[in-house]
Structure 1
Amino acid sequence: MSDHAALSRAELPRPDIAIEDAQRLARDLYGIEGDIRELGSQQDRNFLIECGRGRFVLKICRAEYDRAELEAQNAAMVRLAGRIGSLQVPTVGKTHAGAEIETTIVNGQSCHVRLLGYLEGEPLTRRRFLPEATVAALGAACARVARGLEDFRHPGLDRHLQWDLRHADKVAAHLLPGIASAETRGRIAKALELASKAVAPHLDGLRIQPIHHDITDDNVVARLDAEGVPIPVGIIDFGDLMNGWLVADLAVTCAALLHHSGGDPFFILPAVKAFHAVHPLTVSELKALWPLIVQRAAVLVASSELQLSLEPDHAYVLGNIDHERVIFEVASATPIAVMQAAILAAAGMEAEAAVVTADHRLFPEIDPARIAIARLDTLSPALKNGNWRTEGQARAILRDAVAETGMAATRYGERRLTETAGLSPDIPATTALFVELALPQSSIIAAPFAGALEATAKGLRLVGGDLALWLEGVTSGHAAGSRLEAGVEIGRVGETGLVTVQLCRDPAIDPLHFVKPHQFEAWSTLCPSPATILGFDCNAPASESEALLASRQAHFAKPQKNYYRRPPQIERGFREEMYDVDGRTYLDMVNNVTILGHGHPRLAEAVGRQWSLLNTNSRFHYAGVAEFSKRLADLAPEGLDTVFLVNSGSEANDLALRLAWAHSGARNMLCLLEAYHGWTVASDAVSTSIADNPQALTTRPSWVHAITSPNTFRGPFRGPDSAAGYIAAAEKALAAIDAKEEGLAGFICESVYGNSGGIPLPKGYLKEVYRMVRERGGVTIADEVQVGYGRLGHYFWGFDEQGVTPDIITIAKGMGNGHPLGAVITSRAIADSLEKEGYFFSSAGGSPVSCVVGQTVLDIMRDERLQDNARDIGDHLRSRLEALGQRFAIVGAVHGMGLYLGLEFVRDRQTLEPATIETARICDRLLDLGVIMQPTGDYLNVLKIKPPLCLSRAGADYFADMLARVLEEGY
């Protein structure tokens, strides 16, 4: 078929086929009857038929389509079956007469009819978000099909299609007049011009073979793997099968991915890497890939606009055109040279080195050794108390750095914290492609190489060959267009004393000042460092995050886990935000340790002052230990007036158990299932959470008696009035202990079921269990390490919600705002019981620094009304989370109060099957969107929502909004 015929065929409307016509064809030709509905297609008619024999797709196209092409498609599917690993392709059906293709007249139209098997699975196009593993799997699937077709031969493969990227310019020239908007026509034409120019040098190196040419998110079906990731399992729609450029097959796949990319063209790189691993591409093919993607995007948009002009109500085109416009926007927005470098790197190849030569220094009168460096990275000492969020802070720090030598400069390639974006789902562009200098006014600026001087909206540009030098903040007497030799004065430093210097290897591009950190290496090939023309090392050091993680894994004991498989390197925090070394902001929704928030200046100042005075152990006499102990005792209920200071919650609970043993003279302890109390030998013994210790239920010592968890959501007795059943379970366990006549030491539990996500205990539960324990001479221990100290908002202590007073309170975590500090508060009588075993001592517990930390935390909590904030923001957040339960079936329940909340995910609200895999993926996706969140509970299906108590309403809303986005878009 000629190019003209192919283009004319593109203008044909779909055949006029009604559901009734399709039913008749299926019955008469194939003996199939069943439920039938139409599937989307741009130029064919496709119908899904469900019957007792299975599910089938009836495909009907106009007879203008060459029959040999359809025969080639059928033959390719038969050939690929079993040759592409676990991937499936449709089976090819036959008519009663044994034909794979039937040409017949329908409603006066000559049509080709085929029947194919239906592949079960979910089209990826329905998922707005695609995980990296899915993107890679799609690239690998495309490569496997290409390899499977590599030696396939058929006369129907020599086709002339509008989608054939070998003819993209001709196709676009034919289609563009159909676009109503002159602006859109111009943009498409410009993108095609640049893409064609970029492809041209590589044409001779582009291999031709049979290709599917339409392996897109529409034309694969996927199923969830063991980790809940959608992975392609089948390839459908061989309608564009042809002999074409091998790399065009991948270009089509990558273009389709761009509408899932969130605007980031680098999103396609896992697909490129995976394709190359299965079916290696040459350097020419890799360099041609991105411009071919641009061409594909342009043809897609132009074709859809034309089709809508023919059929304005074309549902299939209307359903896809928004995606296609996004694809074109992303494809045309990034310089081709940048993407070529990124693609080569993804394939394990290096782009052409960015070599910058200079005959003269840019600032000939300046001694480069005297230029101070103004650091703007996450660890910069000049950044403090959140000042990086102030507009103009970068230049203020640059000017301050001038004080020592009279000159200063920022760094090229530095990931600036001053460019971060708070409460944003997008990775911010923090990495500098330029250097800004603060220099004496009127310092001479000389041409480092010969070139033409041009005026731009930014300032001046010196263009020499394929290298452009961009300058801002320069005064010059030269006329625009002046030709300057190397060493000739360009101008002088302007009155502000600030000069911006940037290089770009493509004079046609107006380069960005900042790019996203993961894009920097590719951009640096286009915008290299100006170090050569400046005469000093202005480059920021490369990231060492991966090396540091490897060192951690090599030397840090393996049981000490870190969050996330690929964790960001967090090096700073302020209030409820944390910051990584790339300058990314994360909303911290899990750090119940930092109750005040991160980096509180008042706490830092108090600790610094005390360190400068004294730090020793509590056996010395100093004011802090007396003052802090009294203050803690004053916070406790009447009668609990004696305090032990320790280093952690584990130590506090360990000590509480020792106190119970010493005071009661017995050993047996009652505890709850699903609980966690610490890592010491004793606190671990009463911890029964299988999420923390999979062996927990089979390795408890004989003195531990774990009773039924009063889990009011998924326990045997449910609802707020379920106390009786759980009290009976406790009574039964106590009776068993009584029968052994060994005595009872006590009972330990969290006042709110913290480790399971903040589930409240049933009303009256603690009151009755405490009574039964005390009747037997036992001691009641309230573990308030996670749930107490104002976090619940409505109560300072968790046990207040139950209306009881324990014999021992244990606290830690928030009371030190991250400093190792814990405490046990009890009565004098119980405390004195420990002297039978000797004295107690904790080296850092109650040290002068620890006491200052503890008192300052309480001062700030009081002065900033953080408990009130926990109540108000917590109530608001809880209402937002409950609203999600009305929209998404996966939301099983919202637990807790204040800023100790748990959002439990289930696969079925009736069976309460835990959504464990889904919860892990939701947490990973939230990290992508700038939220730190982790699962908890025995089934790891509950979000543990325990942010700093300073959480703002905006932060709470952002968390709820991002969670809604994840549940809507997928994970």
Structure 2
Amino acid sequence: MLPPVSATGERGRRGGPSRPPARPGPAVEHRVISCVRFQKSAATRFFRVAIVAWSVQVARAGLCGSARGNLFSPPGPVRGPPGRVPSPSNGRRMTTPVSGTLSRTAGRGVALASDIAGEVFGFQGEATALPGEFDLNFHLAGTGGDIVLKLSPESRRPVLDLVAASLRQLEGARLAAAIPRLVPPVHRGDGSDLVAHVDFDGNPHVACAVTYVHGMPLADLRPRSMPVLEALGTLLAQLDLALDGFDHPQLDREFPWRMETAADTIRTRLDDLTRGQDLVAATMARALSRLEPVRDALPACVIHNDANDYNVMVVPSLQGARLSGLIDFGDVARGWRVTEVAVAAAYAMMGLPDPFEAACAIAGGYSSVLQLEEAECATIVPMVALRACLSVCIQAREMALQPDNAYLAVSQEGAWQLLDTLAGADWRIAEFRVREACGLSPNPGLKTIVSWAGRAEPRAPVMSPEVLAHPCTLDLSVGSPELPHPDDGPLDRLVADRTAAAGATVGVGRYGEARLVYSDPAFRSRGNDGDEARTIHLGLDLFAPAGTPVHSPLPGTVVSVVDNGTPGDYGPTVILRHATPDGSGFHTLHGHLDRATLGHLEPGAHVDAGDLIGWLGDAHVNGGWSPHLHLQIIALDPLHDDGQQVAEPGNYPGVALQRLRTVWEAVLPDPTAIAGLPVATVTAVAPAAQPVLRKRDLATKRKTVLGSSLSLSYDDPIHVVQGWGAWLYDDSGRAYLDTVNNVPHVGHANARVADAIARQSRILNTNTRYLHSEITALADELRAHFPAPLEVVFLVCSGSEANELALRMARCHTGRDGVVCLEGGYHGNTGGLVEVSQYKFDGPGGAGAGPRVAVAAMPDTYRGRFRRGQGMSDAELGARYADEVGQAASRLAGGPGVAAFIAEPILSCSGQIEPPPGYLRAAFEHVRAAGGLCIADEVQVGFGRVGDAFWGFELQGVVPDIVTLGKPFGNGHPVAAVVTTREIADSFANGMEYFSTFGGNPVSCAAARAVLAEIRDRGLQSHAREVGNGLLRELRALAERHPVVGDVRGRGLFLGIELVRDRETREPFAEACTYLVNRARERAVLLSVDGPDHNVIKIKPPLVFEEGDAVLLVETLDTVLGESALRE
């Protein structure tokens, strides 16, 4: 199979611009000013050079962007077009002008700006200079709010009148976000103007002020939020609606950024480019060829016309970024309505791996208020391309005029990158995506093609009737129980077994299935939230022996006969074109053929329905697949778009991304109807239900049949259907790196464990009152991992059962009832274990500590009572925390007495807390001195996870009296254990029989033995140490870059990252943890939150977690921790 022509879209259709007719409107009744472009005076240029300084206040002022930059590159200038520094609209003119001479120094200019603001506009505040290409801009912060002051040449008066008039038109409009409001001067003569005159170096200027729009520029927001872009589209439509009926003489003015005359501007400035002339010329020609046929059909209205990413203001938040406002009405004009969407999209698309997702979000938001027409949807991408061409051409001239202005060069990289992306994309696919976002059917011609193909005559089966006579459907979907284990190689066995069992002559692979068989990197692409894989099969597969003849289903013309020989691709492939009565036509692709096919047909040859076009190839020649025909319909020209090549000859994608499934189904419709299968089979192989629908149904069912106290992970839960190694797969085939599931200790779907369970299940499963060898063999193998005197094994079904039994043994052995537990400790879900789990009994719904329980301080050297950095050594810290255990034991002495001290060697629910050295040794001494037993809860810690030892207690150099085991013991199968001394086991045998029906059953024992064998044979303990140590180093380096990380700790693959609001106060930052795990999940990395303050990210993956997995985890954490919500 060929990877997608681009990650998101493919190439496309053409057109050309025209001026829309003027629309009548009310006369303008007032004069006001705002920012537009004008020829700079020498004095203005000198002053701009003197005061321009990039500042954080730029963004907050609502005028223009702050320093160009992001978390991955040093700050730099804006990317927008030259002279595009956003500026305010402003007020009316005073009859008695205020005069003054602004100094040529920035400091004096700032001081005079404050004076002007106070005297003219009655605003007292400290001024800060803002960047401006042609005007003098100042941000003033005062007690009553913030304003922006602008000084502009008198020559710009007509356009400034337009801007202020448009702002007046918008007063009172209900908008989704803020826009600047005019601030009038304190003194007005006739009350008709909102402009004050000042003198600047002998040149007349006008002063105006507008309110400050809060937020940061969209350009600086990380990540680029699609909901924010959708809201932007909504706001732009609301603005256009509110401006309906507005008129002004300047609405039809000529200026370089007008879309209707963009081609003329580009042509006149093309020679200014020092690079990329051919790219710009070709892009412009392509765009115009799509615009020209529909130019007269495009609606016109008054538009803002400049929603670039430095004019769009946003507020980042842990609950999701929101749109806060739109500034700079200097380009307001009458123009094509769709220009509003295209301009916003052009800047929003820059820098994204999938830029068309941004365009779709804006178009969809706009259409939710004002429905875009079909012709408009067809022109968004061409207009985006023209805007990018305009940007680089206009900027080039500015660079020639200002060769020392470094930011002009840097700021255009985004536009050049966008042009490169557009050149390699199929604009037809992009248009289909836009149409879908706007509520239209993606491919308007699809229905005609599908209808005709289903009833066309003459027709013939693609294989002989004898081959197709007895088909059987193969389930190749993600989660299919029929698929062979990934270790078992290709699908040949499945195909052979299923077809033989069904007595079938051909196996049928369904259209629309989500599959995991596309593992080659060619099927992966970069999305806006990380890598993603194409998994949705958009063809029909017919499995038959190699050499089976393949026939044309319909009359047609041979377009190509090509050997796509890359492993995982189609191998020899034939593409045919079939004419339709309306002349549109469509194509069929026949892939995975034999090389003999290559010499059988020639491009341009005619074939009739039923003509031989080739033979099935075997895995050596067909791309490495089991012999089969991949048949698909292609509802557009797969090679050319209006004469421009948009794909590799003889190839076309046959597998799509789930999120683009609907669009690609409109390009590659179901070909089952033309294959020649029996009618009953056509019904049986109907496309599988879309995963999103199954997920929604499952969530609804879960709420109906299960208790509401059973929670789900993540704001958007995952429907997991398959696992393998350290990865989980949802029902669309998306792969998620599992960094938190410590139950599948030796990997999800471990073959050795699964085979052991299946093998023993077929032989015997019964309770422990019968003799069988599995239970004794497991006990022997387990005992070998323990130091003396731990030698007696009790097998149970869960960690909770193990801890219940351990407490029962301790109470029986000591004759006492009291238990010492730790702050934040959790030991199980039974009533008896909730009683000794402070994490639960002091949490929501808990009743507090009971009389049989004493709680000791958590041995947390980061935020606990005794901390690192307080002048104590590690040994002293351990002793101080151990004393807390002794004091807790003393509190029980006069009552129930001490039966046991229960603790995890590394505290899990407490936040992955590793106690200081010597802690357990001293704590055990205190407990034993009080007559109690020491229980090590290894349910989460044990079996080599900590790397440096097999059991967590070994890290502290102690031997507990009782050890409990659980979660990883059976790799997900319910098996757990208690290991203790002979003395304690004998005291427990007091006449009351201990019996667990399922504890130690043969199947569970077989699973546990397989787990122990995997740990041993694959060296997973040392693997955990090596990968874990490297990961820990990288996480600590990560902490140096991100202040929100307060502490990184743990051993092996038992790690924790604590997030804080402030490193000095160490205030827990639970909201940041919630944000991080949900954003990581969106990027297909699964994390979870732990700790009593819910501010610790826990990392406890399967032990087969590889170094490459650790790299992906660190990269994901680095990306999310650098996002705006966690940096502001």
TM-score normalised by L of structure 2: 0.77
Q: Is the 8 A contact 1:934 1:943 kept in 2?
A: yes
1:954 aligns with 2:1108: yes
Give the corresponding residue for 1:874. 1028
Change (3 A) 1:604 1:442: closer
The equivalent residue for 1:432 is 537
1:463-507 deviations in Å (ceiling 9; x for gaps): 5232331435445766644566x6373733376676543332322
Letter in 2 for 1:122: M
- SS of 1:487's equivalent? coil
Aligned with 1:634 (options 768, 784, 787): 784
After superposition, give the CA deviation of every residue in 1:883-915 in whole Å (9 maximum; x if it has no partner): 111211111111111110101111210111222
Alpha-carbon spacing, 1:965–1:564, altered in 2? closer, same or farther (3 Å):
same
CA distance in 1, matches of 2:472, 2:403: 63
C-alpha spacing 1:201/1:217, structure 2 compared with 1 (3 Å): same
Q: Which residue of 2 aligns with 1:934?
A: 1088
Q: For residues 152 and 489 of structure 1, do their structure 2 counterparts lie closer, same or farther at Cα, with a shift above 3 Å needed?
A: same
CA contact (8 A) 1:660 1:745 kept: yes
Following superposition of structure 1 onto structure 2, how do residues 312-711 of structure 1 map, counting pairs within 5 Å?
Answer: 312-330=403-421, 333-351=424-442, 352=444, 353-354=446-447, 355-356=449-450, 357=453, 358-359=456-457, 360-361=459-460, 363=462, 365-366=464-465, 368-371=468-471, 375-380=475-480, 383-387=483-487, 393=490, 407-408=506-507, 410-420=509-519, 425-435=530-540, 437=542, 441=547, 443=549, 445-446=551-552, 448-449=554-555, 453=559, 459-464=574-579, 465-471=583-589, 472=591, 473=593, 474-475=597-598, 480-482=603-605, 487=609, 489=611, 491-493=613-615, 499-507=629-637, 508-509=640-641, 510=647, 511-536=652-677, 537=682, 540-543=687-690, 544-689=694-839, 693-696=843-846, 698-711=847-860
1:122 is aligned to 2:211: no
Superposition pairs of residues 837-852 of structure 1, within 5 angstroms: 838-852=992-1006
- Per the alignment, residue 213 of structure 1 pairs with 305
Alignment check: 8 A CA contact 1:421 1:585 kept: no
1:763 corresponds to: 917
CA distance in 2, matches of 1:187, 1:362: 44
Give the percent of matched residue pairs that are identical in Structure 1 and Structure 2. Answer: 29
- The answer (yes or no) to whether the contact 1:780–1:808 under 8 Å persists in 2 is yes
AA at the equivalent of 1:445: H
Deviations along 1:660-685, one digit per CA (max 9) or x if unpaired, are: 23233332222111121111111122
Does the 8 A contact of 2:468 with 2:506 survive in 1?
A: no
Q: Secondary structure at the match of 2:827?
A: coil
* 8 Å Cα contact 2:176/2:234 also seen in 1: no
Residue in 1 that maps onto 2:284 = 189
C-alpha displacement of 1:450: 5.1
CA distance in 2 between counterparts of 1:302 and 1:554 reads 60
- Counterpart of 2:866 in structure 1 is 717
Contact 2:912/2:1049 (<8 A) preserved? yes
* d(CA) in 1 for partners of 2:535, 2:281: 32
Q: Using the TM superposition, give the Cα deviation of residue 78 of structure 1 relative to its aligned residue in structure 2, in angstroms.
A: 5.0
Q: Give the AA of the match of 1:90.
A: P
Asked if the contact 2:511–2:688 (Cα under 8 Å) also holds between the matched residues in 1, the reply is no
Tell whether 2:876 aligns with 1:781: no
- Could you tell which deviates more after superposition, 408-417 or 516-525? 408-417
Provide the residue aligned with 1:730 in structure 2: 885
Structure 2 residue 232 is matched with structure 1 residue 138: yes
Q: What is the aligned partner in structure 2 of residue 71 from structure 1? A: 161
* Preserved CA contact (<8 Å) 1:265 1:334: no
- Could you tell me how far 1:296 is from its partner in structure 2? 3.7
| Unaligned segments of structure 2, at least 5 residues | 1-17, 21-35, 52-104, 119-123, 564-572, 619-626, 642-646, 869-873
Alignment partner of 1:643: what SS?
A: strand
Moved more, 669-678 or 460-469: 460-469
Q: Is the Cα contact below 8 Å between 2:114 and 2:126 reproduced in 1?
A: no
Shift of 1:952: 1.7
Contact 1:10 1:162 in 2 (8 A): no
Partner residue in 1 for 2:334: 243
State how far apart, in whole Å, the 2-side matches of 1:137 and 1:683 are: 49
1:38 to 114, 120, 130: 130
Distance 1:381 1:967, change over 3 A: same
* Paired residue secondary structure (2:128): strand
Report how far residue 640 of structure 1 moved: 2.3
Alpha-carbon separation, structure 1, partners of 2:148 and 2:1112: 44
For 1:845 and 1:247, locate their aligned partners in 2 and report how far apart those are by CA, in whole Å. 69
Task: Give the Cα separation in 1 of the matches to 2:888 and 2:432.
Answer: 68
Name the SS of the counterpart of 1:418 in structure 2: coil
Whether the 8 Å CA contact 1:93–1:117 is kept in 2: the answer is yes
TM-score (norm 1): 0.89
Q: Which has the higher mean CA deviation after the structures are superposed, 352-361 or 585-594? A: 352-361
Say if 1:515 and 1:166 are closer, same or farther in 2 by CA, change over 3 A.
farther
SS at the partner of 2:477? coil
Deviation of 1:217 (Å): 3.0
Residues 313-356 of structure 1 show CA distances to partners (whole Å, capped at 9, x for unaligned) of 54554343222234444556554443444344434444445442
Residue 612 to residue 341, structure 1, CA distance change in 2 (3 Å): same
Q: C-alpha displacement at 1:522, in angstroms?
A: 0.8
Compared CA separation, residues 271 and 836, structure 1 to 2 (3 A): farther
d(CA) in 1 for partners of 2:548, 2:920: 78
Do the aligned partners of 1:142 and 1:253 also contact (CA within 8 Å) in 2? no
**Letter of the aligned partner of 2:162 in structure 1?**
A
Q: Measured at CA, do residues 681 and 155 of structure 1 come closer, stay the same or move farther in structure 2, by a change above 3 Å? A: farther
Contact kept, 8 Å, 1:420 with 1:584, in 2: the verdict is no
Q: Which SS does the other structure have where 2:280 is aligned? A: helix
Change (3 A) 1:787 1:436: same
Q: CA shift at 1:71, angstroms?
A: 2.6
Could you say if the C-alpha distance between residues 223 and 725 of structure 1 is closer, same or farther in structure 2, counting changes exceeding 3 Å? farther
Say if 1:243 and 1:743 are closer, same or farther in 2 by CA, change over 3 A: same
Is the CA contact 2:561–2:598 (under 8 Å) kept in the aligned structure 1?
no
Q: Deviations over 1:834-883 (max 9, x none)?
A: 45583222222110011111122112211111111111111111111111
- Structure 1 residue 562: Cα displacement: 2.2
Q: How does 1:78-97 map to 2 (within 5 A)?
A: 80=170, 83-84=173-174, 87-94=177-184
Question: How has the CA–CA distance of structure 1 residues 940 and 176 changed in structure 2, closer, same or farther, with 3 Å as cutoff?
Answer: farther
Q: Which amino acid aligns with 2:613?
A: G
Inter-CA distance 620–477: structure 2 relative to 1 (3 Å threshold): closer
Cα distance in structure 1, aligned partners of 2:782 and 2:617: 60
- Structure 2 letter corresponding to 1:502: Q
- Give me the whole-angstrom Cα distance separating, in 1, the residues matched to 2:367 and 2:934: 64
Equivalent AA in structure 2 for residue 361 of structure 1: A
C-alpha distance in 2 between matches for 1:240 and 1:774? 81
1:188/1:572 Cα in 2 relative to 1: closer, same or farther (>3 Å)?
Answer: same
